[in-house]
C-alpha cells in the first residue's frame, strides 16, 4: 500500500502529488490548496454511456457486476482480479447478458493500474480488501476516471484527506458505495425525518452487529485478509453501515457536522474462544492474538447538539443487526429486531405501532419506483438501487447521492475511535473534510 502511494506521489500528470503531501503530514488541515475546487454540489458533465472498469470481482464485486448489466446506459468494459477464474466468471456474465466481453486484468495485485490507464473508461468501481481502496481510488482519479468504492473508503484520517484532495484537484467523483443508505426501512425513516414526523432530532443509535467469527477464520474467503485487521487494530472497523443512513437523517455535511467522538472497548475474547472451540486449544488458530475489542461503543456529538451512538460487534454469537434507532422531540423509530414506531399524538400512549402501518404512508418514492427492478438483487434489493442511482447520476450529469466528503467523514470514525480507546477513552476532535462547506444547508439528492 505504501509503495502504491509513493508511486502516486511521483505521478505528475495532473500535479496532484504536490497538493497531497501537506495533508498526508497534517491530517486535520483546513485550508484548500490552490487549484483545488470543492466537490460540494458538483455534477460532472453527463456521460451518454457510462463505461465501467471493475476491480475486485469476488462475492460483492460479482453482485455489483450483475446489477450493472441490468442498468441502462452502462457497460462493463474491463474486469480486474488477482484470481483469474473470477475474471472469467465476470466475463461470462457479460457475454451471457448479451453484452461485449470485457477485457480481463489478472497480472498480479497492481494490474489495476493498467486498467486505470485505459482511455475508454469513465468509472472505476472497486470491491477489494480494504487496504487497497485508497491506492485504487487515487489511481483512478489521477487517470481521469470517477471512482466508486466499497466500504470503508479509507482506513485513516490521512487517507481520507488524500481522497478529498485528489477529488478536488481532478474534479472527479470519489463515492463510497454505502448500500444501507438505500434499505427500505432506512429510507422510510429518512422520509419521516425530513417531513418532520419525529420533530426536532435529538439522538440516534446505529452500528454493525454481525457474527463474523466464521468469516474471519475462513481462509478460502475474507479470512485471508479481514482477520488481520482484528489482530492489529482496536476501534470501530466498520462504522458506515449504521452511520450512513443516520448521518443523512442528521444532515451531516449539509448544515450539520460531527464535532467530536469518544470510544470505549470491551476485552477481546470472542475470536479466540471461537478458534479454540473449532480448531482445538493447541491449533495454530488458537495461538493467534487479537486486539479488537469484542464490542466497541462510540459516542458522536454534532454541532447542533445531538448525540449518535455507534456500535461495532463482529466477534459475538448474536443475530444480525444495524441497531437503527432515530429519536426526535415528537417520537422515535426503531428497526431491530422488528420495525416499530411511536409518534406522540398519533400512537397510543406508551405503545409501539407496527412499522408496516407507517410504511404504507412513508415508503420512499425511490423504492416505489425501483422495487420491481431490484427484485432478486443483493441485500433485499438495496444493492441494485445503490448501483442504479450511481449510474443515473453519471449518465444524466446529476449531483450524486454521496460525495467524497461523506466517505471520508464516515471512514474517519475507525482511526478516531482507535485513538480514543488507546488514550483511555479520551475525546477526539473530528476533522472537517468539507473545510467549512458543511455550513451550507443542502437537500439530499434522494429527497429532491
The predicted structure's pLDDT at residue 25:
34
The domain that holds 93 is classified in CATH as 3.40.50.720
Mean pLDDT over 376-400 rounds to 96
Residue with cell 450529469: 397
Question: Are the C-beta atoms of residues 174 and 123 closer than 8 Å to each other?
Answer: no
At 18 the pLDDT is: 38
Residue 387 lies inside a defined structural domain of this protein: no
The reply to whether 208 and 144 lie within a common domain is: no
**Residue 354 grid cell:** 407496527
Q: Would the pLDDT of 1 be above 70?
A: no
108 & 167 share domain: yes
Partners of 308 in the beta sheet?
Answer: 204, 300
pLDDT of amino acid 29: 57
Average pLDDT over residues 254-265: 98
Q: Measured on CA atoms in the order 248, 250, 255, 258, is the torsion positive or negative?
A: negative
Same domain (yes/no): 141, 95: yes
CATH code for position 199: 3.30.360.10
Report pTM.
0.93
pLDDT digits (tens, 9 = 90+) for 168-220: 999 999 999 999 999 999 999 999 999 999 999 999 999 999 999 999 999 88
pLDDT at 31: 86
Whether 163 is in a domain gets the answer yes
What is the C-alpha separation between 83 and 88, in angstroms, rounded?
Answer: 9
d(CA 343, CA 277): 46
Average pLDDT value for residue range 252-258? 98
Count of beta carbons in the 10 Å neighbourhood of residue 422: 13
Mean pLDDT of 275-290: 97
The average pLDDT across 427-434 equals 97
Residues 23 and 168 in one domain: yes
Domain boundary (176, 193, 226) is at 176
Domain boundary among 176, 197, 225: 176
Indicate if 283 and 367 belong to the same structural domain.
yes
Whether the pLDDT of residue 341 is over 60: the answer is yes
Say yes or no: 189 and 63 in one domain: no
Shared domain for 202 and 160, answered yes or no, is: no
Whether 185 and 147 map to the same domain: the answer is no
Residues 422 and 358 in one domain: yes
Of 132, 154, 176, the position where a domain reaches its end is: 176
- The answer on 281 and 371 residing in a single domain is yes
Mean pLDDT rounded to a whole number for the chain: 94
Q: Could you give the number of structural domains in the chain?
A: 2
Q: Are residues 257 and 124 in the same domain?
A: no
Whether 380 maps to a domain, the answer reads: no
Domain interval for residue 60 = 2-28+38-176
Examine the domain organization and report whether 53 and 128 are in the same domain.
Answer: yes
**46 within a domain of the structure (yes/no):** yes
pLDDT tens digit sequence for 113-159:
999 999 999 999 999 999 999 999 999 999 999 999 999 999 999 99
Residue 398 lies in a domain: no
Amino acid at each position: 500500500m505504501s509503495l502504491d502511494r509513493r508511486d502516486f506521489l511521483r505521478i505528475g500528470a495532473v500535479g496532484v502529488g504536490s497538493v497531497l503531501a501537506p495533508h498526508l503530514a497534517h491530517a486535520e488541515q483546513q485550508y484548500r490548496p490552490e487549484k483545488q475546487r470543492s466537490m460540494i454540489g458538483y455534477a460532472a458533465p453527463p456521460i451518454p454511456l457510462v463505461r465501467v472498469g471493475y476491480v475486485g470481482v469476488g462475492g460483492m464485486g460479482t453482485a455489483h457486476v450483475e446489477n450493472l448489466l441490468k442498468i441502462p446506459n452502462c457497460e462493463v468494459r474491463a474486469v480486474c482480479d488477482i484470481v483469474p477464474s473470477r475474471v472469467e466468471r465476470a466475463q461470462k456474465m457479460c457475454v451471457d447478458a448479451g453484452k461485449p466481453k470485457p477485457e480481463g486484468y489478472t497480472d498480479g495485485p497492481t494490474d489495476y493500474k493498467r486498467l486505470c490507464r485505459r482511455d475508454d473508461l469513465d468509472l472505476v468501481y472497486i470491491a477489494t480488501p480494504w487496504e487497497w481502496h485508497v491506492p485504487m481510488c487515487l489511481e483512478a482519479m489521477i487517470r481521469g476516471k470517477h471512482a466508486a468504492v466499497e466500504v470503508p473508503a479509507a482506513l485513516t484520517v490521512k487517507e481520507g484527506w488524500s481522497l478529498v484532495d485528489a477529488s478536488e484537484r481532478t474534479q472527479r467523483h470519489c463515492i463510497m458505495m454505502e448500500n444501507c443508505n438505500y434499505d427500505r426501512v432506512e429510507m422510510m425513516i429518512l422520509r419521516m425525518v425530513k417531513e418532520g414526523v419525529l420533530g426536532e432530532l435529538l439522538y440516534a443509535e446505529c452500528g454493525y452487529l454481525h457474527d463474523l467469527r466464521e468469516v474471519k477464520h475462513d481462509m478460502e474467503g475474507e479470512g485471508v485478509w479481514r482477520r488481520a485487521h482484528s489482530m492489529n487494530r482496536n476501534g470501530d472497523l466498520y462504522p458506515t453501515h449504521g452511520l450512513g443512513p443516520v448521518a443523512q437523517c442528521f444532515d451531516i455535511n449539509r448544515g450539520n457536522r460531527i464535532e467530536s467522538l469518544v470510544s470505549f472497548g470491551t476485552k477481546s475474547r470472542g475470536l479466540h474462544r471461537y478458534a479454540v472451540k473449532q480448531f482445538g486449544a493447541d491449533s495454530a488458530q488458537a495461538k493467534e492474538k487479537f486486539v479488537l475489542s469484542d464490542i466497541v461503543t462510540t459516542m458522536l456529538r454534532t454541532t447542533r447538539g445531538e448525540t449518535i451512538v455507534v456500535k461495532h460487534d463482529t466477534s459475538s454469537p448474536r443475530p444480525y443487526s444495524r441497531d437503527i434507532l432515530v429519536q426526535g422531540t415528537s417520537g422515535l423509530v426503531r428497526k431491530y429486531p422488528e420495525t416499530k414506531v411511536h409518534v406522540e399524538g398519533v400512537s397510543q400512549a406508551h405503545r409501539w405501532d407496527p412499522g408496516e402501518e407507517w410504511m404504507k404512508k412513508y415508503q420512499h418514492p425511490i423504492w416505489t419506483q425501483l422495487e420491481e427492478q431490484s427484485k432478486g438483487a443483493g441485500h433485499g434489493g438495496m444493492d441494485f438501487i445503490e448501483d442504479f442511482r450511481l449510474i443515473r447520476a453519471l449518465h444524466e450529469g446529476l449531483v450524486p447521492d454521496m460525495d467524497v466528503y461523506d466517505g471520508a467523514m464516515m471512514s474517519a470514525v475507525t482511526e478516531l475511535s482507535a485513538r480514543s480507546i488507546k488514550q483511555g477513552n479520551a475525546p477526539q476532535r473530528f476533522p472537517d473534510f468539507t473545510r467549512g462547506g458543511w455550513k451550507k444547508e443542502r437537500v439530499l439528492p434522494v429527497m429532491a
